[in-house]
Structure 1
Amino acid sequence: MKTPANFFKPLTIGAPEPIRELPIALERTIHFLPPHIEKMRAKAGQIAQKVDVLLGNLEDAIPIEAKEAARTGFIEVAKAVDFGPTGLWTRVNALNSPWFLDDMTEIVGTVGNQLDVVMIPKVEGPWDIHFVDQLLALLEARHRIRKPILIHAILETAQGVKNVNEIAQASPRMHGMSLGPADLAASRGMKTTRVGGGHPFYGVIADPDEGKPDKSKEQRAFYQQDLWHYTVARMVDACQSNGLRAFYGPFGDFEDSLACEAQFRNAFLQGCVGAWTLHPNQIEIAKWVFSPEVEEVRFAKRILEAMPDGSGAVMIDGKMQDDATWKQAKVIVDLARLVAEKDPERGAAYGL
């Protein structure tokens, strides 16, 4: 761990000053672009207008023979597209892969001033963040990057989840974390091949009817549970307590929009601010789910208006509101204002 006195000091001469607070940004949807595919690169400008973050994916789902093409394609997109308020991220290859070093040196060296966040897969502990932190500082200094490139960690190993709080505290570059359910399932030895979402065999069963003699043959209600509830909660606690942002990762069944919406909503209610979208039909789901509901925003505004300084207590519609609910209301209204800036139609519905 860095000592408090040195935490915000640049790691090398000429690197930009580390940030002390994350910039305000709307990040409901992190949309994954496979930049090795020419027709997808051609659509990048259109997609960027529809999403909050466009991420050039260089890691999983990119064939080994296409790794260099993906890196080159991402650089091409970063140079050609005017992203406006849309964030530009990349997911590089794993730290122990033969492509990681070239990913970092070529991307930062050519489009480092356009890049907002680099996503690091399979982070296992703070040592991984320290390594990337130092490397970025050296590259930023060499290429005169004006602002620090932030780091986003993917939790997809058991050791990473165990060390989640230490990862969150490892660097002032830390932007947030995402759940990586597929690799995490393999790391834990979980018995599922699904990418995110629940499992039909994971749940609780209703108590037996004591009046029936043979409980083994009784038909009883079964309620499917969320395999990822514990991990998402740990990730959210680590992120929120350290001023970072938590995200749900991929939902692999592109045809099951109802299940995708339910999983995203669970993550939103637990404190996640966004999710990955791997298919165009998931974009509007993420934007809808991770935007606060209209009636909730309007009620939150009433709380803030009734308690301008957040102190005391008031009654609204027969319900007591105090400083705790004022804080909850502020979270909702602040998010609604970000949504309104990018989506005027929703902003009008919010009354903002």
Structure 2
Amino acid sequence: MHNCLLFVPGDRPERFARATASGADAVVIDLEDAVQPDAKSAARAHVAEWLAAGGKAIVRINAISTDWHEADLAILNSPGLLAVMLPMAEDPDSLSRFTSGLPDGLPVIALIETALGLWNLGDLVKVDGISRLGFGSIDFQLDTGVEDENQGLLFARSRIVVASAMAGLEPPLDGVTVNLDDETVLASDTARARRLGFGGKLCIHPGQVEGVKSGFMPSTEEIEQAQRIKAVAEEAGAKGAIRLDGRLIDAPVVARALRLLEGLE
């Protein structure tokens, strides 16, 4: 599972290979926010050329409602395209029409960035072709007027996580951290995302990659505890709930421990 995705502007082809070498689990070449309107066409050409030459990346196209969306669709048959990221996912019908026209098997990461998108989330996750959700927290704050990045966005983040689980999607991606100079802010944001059930986080600078990847890795203590839970569960066999360090260890606790260990393989 990809837990660290790094954005790179689509009109900066000299950065594509460098981003790929950053250690991120996947690179997202951006045709949307990072590219000015007069550079959209050139950026599209750069992305198509790079993918045709053997590059591999996710591409964030422009939203369905924009003037650039239709032209972006032409590159979605490119070799090396790992997934398409769609911003401003809001309307289930529009989203369904979009996914139905894609190449078979192309994963779609839908970004929830508005109040309407969050409101319609239960229907959006039912659309065939959606593989994962992402939280566009910056745009969501702009749309809703929520200033608090923590408690103020708790409902939105939790709803995205719960909707993903309900639909059987891959755990979602949390939004970017705009503070590039304070590593403690990135560490705090990453820890919060993991606690809330996100499976990864979007990055806007190569310097954030290591912090995000390490933040989503279980600690030594968590691994050791999971190994102990697995051992006592195997020893108990089918006897039902057991005790470990004064705590009840029942089937869901064992399942979580096994899932953590499986993620390390």
- 8 A Cα contact 1:168 1:239, kept in partner: yes
Cα distance in 2, alignment partners of residues 79 and 155 from structure 1: 30
- How much is the aligned-residue C-alpha RMSD, in angstroms? 1.9
- 8 A Cα contact 1:155 1:180, kept in partner: yes
Q: Is 1:129 aligned to residue 128 of structure 2?
A: no
- Listed one character per residue, the Cα deviations across residues 63-113 of structure 1 (whole Å, up to 9, x for unaligned) are 111112222222233233465xxxx311100111121112112x12332xx
Quickly say closer, same or farther: Cα 1:161–1:178, change in 2 above 3 A.
Answer: same
Aligned-partner SS, 2:78: helix
Quickly say closer, same or farther: Cα 1:109–1:117, change in 2 above 3 A.
Answer: closer
The counterpart of 1:325, out of the listed 253, 260, 264, is: 253
Q: Is 1:155 aligned to residue 122 of structure 2?
A: no
Match of 2:141 in 1: 185
* Alpha-carbon distance, 1:34 to partner: 1.3
The residue correspondences of 1:25-64 to structure 2 (distance < 5 A) are: 26-47=1-22, 50-64=23-37
The counterpart of 1:228, out of the listed 133, 153, 159, is: 153
Cα distance in 2, alignment partners of residues 69 and 251 from structure 1: 28
Match of 1:66 in 2: 39
Quickly say closer, same or farther: Cα 1:45–1:277, change in 2 above 3 A.
Answer: closer
Quickly say closer, same or farther: Cα 1:327–1:101, change in 2 above 3 A.
Answer: same
The residue correspondences of 1:1-352 to structure 2 (distance < 5 A) are: 26-47=1-22, 50-81=23-54, 88-105=57-74, 107-111=75-79, 114-136=80-102, 140=103, 148-171=105-128, 173-190=129-146, 192=147, 198=149, 225-244=150-169, 245-308=171-234, 312-337=240-265
The one-letter amino acid of 1:125's match is D
- 8 A Cα contact 1:310 1:322, kept in partner: no
The count of corresponding residues between Structure 1 and Structure 2 is: 262
* Alpha-carbon distance, 1:313 to partner: 2.1
Rg: which structure is higher?
1
Which ranges in structure 2 are unaligned for 5 or more consecutive residues?
Answer: none
Aligned-partner SS, 2:111: strand
Cα distance in 1, alignment partners of residues 238 and 174 from structure 2: 31
Task: Decide which structure has greater helix share.
Answer: 2
After TM superposition, the score normalised by the length of structure 1 is: 0.70
- 8 A Cα contact 1:310 1:326, kept in partner: no
Aligned-partner SS, 2:192: helix
Which ranges in structure 1 are unaligned for 5 or more consecutive residues?
Answer: 1-25, 141-146, 199-224, 338-352
Cα distance in 1, alignment partners of residues 91 and 67 from structure 2: 20
* Alpha-carbon distance, 1:265 to partner: 0.9
Quickly say closer, same or farther: Cα 1:300–1:42, change in 2 above 3 A.
Answer: closer
Quickly say closer, same or farther: Cα 1:327–1:44, change in 2 above 3 A.
Answer: same
Aligned-partner SS, 2:84: strand
